[in-house]
Structure 1
Amino acid sequence: MADTSTVTTQTNPRGIPVAPFVDNVSDYVSSRGEVEPTLRSFQEMISKYQFMEANTQRRAQGLREKLPDIKKTLEMVRFLKLRKETSAPGPLDTNFELNDTLYARATISPTDTDEVYLWLGANVMLAYPLPEAESMLQEKLTAAEQSLANCDEDLEFLREQITTLEVATARVYNWDVVQRRKDKGDGKEEKPQAG
């Protein structure tokens, strides 16, 4: 038996382990002992990958919902900053969102606007100077886009691992069926004891 203390598991960049590839079924099963524990192990790994896939899909969906809001807020901060820098004449009439379906009308003077209030989450709002708000929102947007790209990459990786394990399961099962037929044909099949 090989020394397992030096064996390292390959993973993707976010630490998801690579599924074992079964090249030679006979060698793989004989190194693992029996067929049933091997098949159980594969089913357990498939379940874990499916659980990770579901969580990653939820995280990606949440990011896809947040991205438009971050972009819209960043565009507004840049618009106010540009209006302030160019000293655009006159006040600006706008509607701002209080709730999903509730808006309020406001008149603001971009030349007098030095800060904006941003929702941070958990019912917390904080005032930021325009340049700081723009910088923070840009960082948030970049991080969210990178996180979404990582989620999409992880989902593809997980699908590949699930497919690898499903193929390995089928190959081990089919190998076992062939071995049982060979054993039965050779007369090695265990006979039930009369009792």
Structure 2
Amino acid sequence: MPLTSPSTVTTQTNPRGIPVAPFIDNVSDYVSSRDDVEPTLRRFQEMISKYQFMEVNAQRRGQGLREKIPDIRKTLEMVRFLVLRKESNTEADLETNFELNDTLYARASISPADAEEVYLWLGANVMLAYPLGEAESMLDEKLSGAEQSLKNCEEDLEFLREQITTLEVATARVYNWDVVQRRKDKAEGKGDDEKRPGGA
């Protein structure tokens, strides 16, 4: 039997294409007999597992973006500082400490003539030189994209948790419906007949 009845079939998704979990208002729309209970519960459990897998991936992606965004922001601020300094036509050299790694810094003197371009890491051990204006535009775009991606991740996480909760409620409703049906069958004297062949 299909997971949803033809009248309630939906292809609704969130903006990133994650499907909406089926909401069970009437268990009879999903389960027409007790034979359908186990397959339905299995399908719900498979869907919960898929949502949980997507949730873990979204958490990892979000964590990566939270670590990446401050670095992009710091680089963009430095480029903007160099742009402002260039526009002020200052002749004096810029004395600064620059970071070689987390605990090692080197002292540098930058003359205004050398502040026409910056070198930016693009990843995979690739560094490219960019004119200051182009570097500022690229970093600004990269920062906006990363912040939007983080916002999308957070929305997806909230959405996924809602879908998992919906399916857990659906699982409980189908299970409870099955318990009620078993009691009805037992009260009508069908329980003993069913227990003989299947041992249920």
TM-score (norm 1): 0.92
How many residues are paired up? 191
Letter of the 1:50 counterpart: Q
Structure 1 unaligned regions, length at least 5: none
Q: Secondary structure at the match of 1:34?
A: helix
2:38 to 36, 41, 58: 36
1:110 paired with 2:128, answer: no
- State the match for 2:74 in structure 1: 72
Q: Deviations over 1:63-83 (max 9, x none)?
A: 000000000000000000100
- State the match for 1:122 in structure 2: 124
How many Å apart are 1:111 and its aligned residue?
4.9
Q: Secondary structure at the match of 2:101?
A: coil
Letter of the 1:45 counterpart: M
Deviates further, 110-119 or 152-161: 110-119
How many Å apart are 1:105 and its aligned residue?
1.2
2:196 to 169, 192, 195: 192
- CA contact 1:96–1:103 (8 Å) conserved in 2: yes
Whole-Å separation in 1 of the counterparts to 2:23 and 2:46: 15
How many Å apart are 1:183 and its aligned residue?
0.5
Whole-Å separation in 1 of the counterparts to 2:170 and 2:23: 7
- CA contact 1:42–1:165 (8 Å) conserved in 2: yes
Letter of the 2:196 counterpart: P
Whole-Å separation in 1 of the counterparts to 2:158 and 2:147: 17
Runs of 4+ off more than 4 Å: 1-4
TM-score (norm 2): 0.90
Q: Secondary structure at the match of 1:125?
A: strand
Whole-Å separation in 2 of the counterparts to 1:191 and 1:61: 52
How many Å apart are 1:30 and its aligned residue?
1.4
How many Å apart are 1:192 and its aligned residue?
1.3
- State the match for 1:149 in structure 2: 151
Q: Secondary structure at the match of 1:17?
A: coil
Q: Secondary structure at the match of 1:75?
A: helix
- CA contact 2:34–2:178 (8 Å) conserved in 1: no
Q: Deviations over 1:106-160 (max 9, x none)?
A: 1112354100000001111110000000000000000001100100110010000
CA RMSD, aligned part only? 2.0
Structure 2 unaligned regions, length at least 5: none
